[in-house]
Amino acid sequence: MKIAIVCYPTFGGSGVVATELGIALANRGHEVHFITYRQPVRLALLNSNIHFHEVHVPKYPLFHYQPYELALSSKLVDMVKLHKIEVLHVHYAIPHAYAGYMAKQMLAEEGISIPMVTTLHGTDITLVGSHPFYKPAVTFSINKSDVVTSVSESLREDTLRLFDVKKDIHVVPNFIDMSKYSKTFEDCRRSMMAGEGERIITHISNFRKVKRIRDVIRVFYEVQKEIPAKLLMIGEGPEKEGAELLCEELGIPEKVLYLGNSNEIDRILCFSDLFLLPSETESFGLVALEAMANGVPVISSNTGGIPEVNRQGVTGFLSDVGDVQSMAENAIGLLKDENRLNIFKKNAREEATKFDIGQIVPLYEAIYQKAFTVA
Ligand code: GMT
């Protein structure tokens, strides 16, 4: 199949999932065209089946807001015609599903029919999309998609609750390529980050409010009172400065290392003992799955789709949002008991195999086939 993938090219989970999916589809012989404003961060173009088309938005002083949707829909029309693309797969409703629908309409005028699959990732529904400013356009775009998928059962339910959606929503969970984790990194050296006998706790996110970064610091603060430990903070975002200040206030700045954005999170996770994800909401929590694939148990909130990934008492522990005390107690209990920690590490890796890419990509291929029949 010739598939166009539209996504955000950033470190965010939706962009990562879209990129990994495109790479996997290309490896299975499909011709994949990424269409977005920058080359996706995890995309290496070393595959003759992968193409990248950049969307340019020329700056024009008359426009207060530059019209990305217009540029994207025009680019989609041009690329579909040029490369004879057969299916559009748009990740994230805003504005991709909207632009995709406009492209479909323009192509229909020329007698070209192309199905559009929309994958909902979470923030497009729970945080941004349901805002009254966007809701009518998001509802419209979802209803006009030929097939709609969501990355968890929880997100499916949220979408049906928050929007007047008349479409079936197919749950296709996020995935991970477990073959990448069969080998251990030669340079998986915890000594780079922590001293002998110190535990390593990790958090990775875009440091937005929804990630509750201050809870990460507070949980760690309780843990380090009982157990020698370091906290590794990976990512960049608006809450970072506040987190750094909180570390100063609590007197633990030398125990918390901020490593910035990283393309090599597996190298960091491979020497981590525990992962913290206390988010306010999370449609899936891809990063928790990445931690688990590296054999890292997860201490998380019990919100959204996280319970579909992190299993209570098996791969980690889940607490109510904001219950720092319970998260800290769970973390301490696990880190103090080497045997139990090792069992959880093994469980985490085993559970992650259920989300292996080999099982999930065929589901998307079937969705594309379905899209042809309903378009
Ligand atoms: O919240 C983020 O880290 C970014 C956001 C995005 O839109 O890229 O992530 C969302 O999509 C991911 C991939 O499907 C999910 O794993 C995240 O849980 C989801 N984030 C939220 O729901 C807050």
For ligand 1, is residue 294 a contact (CB within 6 Å)? no
The pairing of beta strand 2-6 with beta strand 229-234: unpaired
Longest dimension (CA), the chain: 68
* Model confidence at 184: pLDDT above 70: no
Token pair, residue 125, equals 């529904």
- Mean pLDDT, range 15-36, rounded to an integer: 96
Burial class (CB in 10 A: 0-12, 13-18, 19+), 248: exposed
Q: Is any atom of ligand 1 closer than 6 Å to the C-beta of 281?
A: yes
Strand pairing partners for 169? 148
Q: What is the pLDDT of residues 43-96, one digit of tens each?
A: 877 788 999 999 999 888 888 989 999 999 999 999 999 999 999 999 999 899
Residue 44 pLDDT = 77
Structural domains of the chain ordered from first start: 2-175+356-374 (3.40.50.2000), 179-353 (3.40.50.2000)
Residues 6+ apart with CB under 8 A from 339: none
Number of CB atoms found within 10 A of residue 28's CB: 13
Q: At 150, is the secondary structure helix, strand, or coil?
A: strand
CA-CA distance, 205 to 213, in Å (whole number)? 9
**DSSP single-letter state for residue 199:** E
182: pLDDT confidence band, cut at 50, 70 and 90?
low
**Between residues 308 and 187, which one has the greater pLDDT?**
308
Q: Assess whether the C-beta atom of 211 lies below 6 angstroms from ligand 1.
A: no
**237 C-alpha to ligand 1 centroid (Å):** 14
Q: Ligand 1: which of 90, 120, 121, 162 to mutate, most ligand atoms within 8 Å of CB?
A: 121
Q: Does ipTM exceed 0.95?
A: yes
pLDDT at 31: 97
Q: What is the pLDDT of residues 202-241, one digit of tens each?
A: 999 999 999 999 999 999 999 999 999 999 999 999 999 9
Question: What is the per-residue pLDDT across 314-332, written as a single tens digit (0 to 9) for each?
Answer: 999 999 999 999 999 999 9
186-197: pLDDT as tens digits: 556 677 788 888
> Which helix H or strand E contains 140, and what residues bound it?
helix 135-144
The mean pLDDT of the chain is: 94
Average confidence (pLDDT) over 109-120: 97
Residue 75 to residue 81: CA distance in whole angstroms: 10
Listed residue (342, 192, 356, 344) closest to 267, CA to CA: 192
152 lines ligand 1 (CB under 6 A): no
Question: Residue 46 gets which letter from DSSP?
Answer: -
Ligand 1 binding pocket includes 176 (Cβ within 6 Å) = no
12 lines ligand 1 (CB under 6 A): yes
Q: How confident is the model at residue 124 (pLDDT cuts 50, 70, 90)?
A: confident
Residue 309 pLDDT class (50, 70, 90 cuts)? very high
User: Which ligand 1 atom sits closest to the C-alpha of 124?
Assistant: 7
Q: Do residues 57 and 67 lie in contact, with contact meaning Cβ atoms separated by under 8 Å?
A: yes
The answer to whether the CB of 129 is under 6 A from ligand 1 is no
Q: Residue 185's pLDDT is what?
A: 54
pLDDT of residue 187: 59
> Looking at residue 103, what is its pLDDT?
98
Partners of 229 in the β-ladder: 199
Nearest to 124, CA basis, from 257, 260, 281, 346: 281
Please say whether the beta carbons of 124 and 95 come within 8 A: no
Cα separation, 271 vs 202, whole angstroms: 10
Q: Tell me what pLDDT residue 298 has.
A: 98
Q: In Å, what is the CA distance from 329 to each residue of 225, 319, 326?
A: 12, 10, 5
Q: Report the SS3 class of residue 148.
A: strand
**Which one of 19, 282, 302 would you pick to mutate in the ligand 1 pocket, going by the greatest count of ligand atoms within 8 A of its CB?**
282
The reported pLDDT for the residue numbered 343 is 97
| Atom number of ligand 1 nearest to Cα 210 | 23
Q: What separation in Å is there between the alpha carbon of 15 and the centre of ligand 1?
A: 9
Determine the atom of ligand 1 nearest the C-alpha atom of 304.
22
Instruction: Tell me the CA–centroid distance for residue 12 and ligand 1, in Å.
Output: 6
Burial of residue 112, with CB atoms counted within 10 A of its CB: 0-12 exposed, 13-18 middle, 19 or more buried: middle
> What pLDDT is stored for residue 106 in this prediction?
98
C-alpha of residue 124 to centroid of ligand 1, in Å: 9
Pairing of strands 169-171, 147-150: parallel
149 close to ligand 1 (CB < 6 Angstrom): no
Total length of the chain: 375
Protein residue with least CA distance to atom 20, ligand 1: 282
Supply the pTM of this predicted model.
Answer: 0.94
- Cα–Cα dist 156/272, whole Å: 32
Is there an atom of ligand 1 within 6 Å of 283 CB?
Answer: yes
Q: Does any ligand 1 atom lie closer than 6 A to the CB of residue 292?
A: no
Distances 57 to 11, 15, 169 between C-alpha atoms, Å: 21, 20, 32
Confidence of residue 351 (pLDDT cuts 50, 70, 90): very high
What was the pLDDT predicted at 191?
77
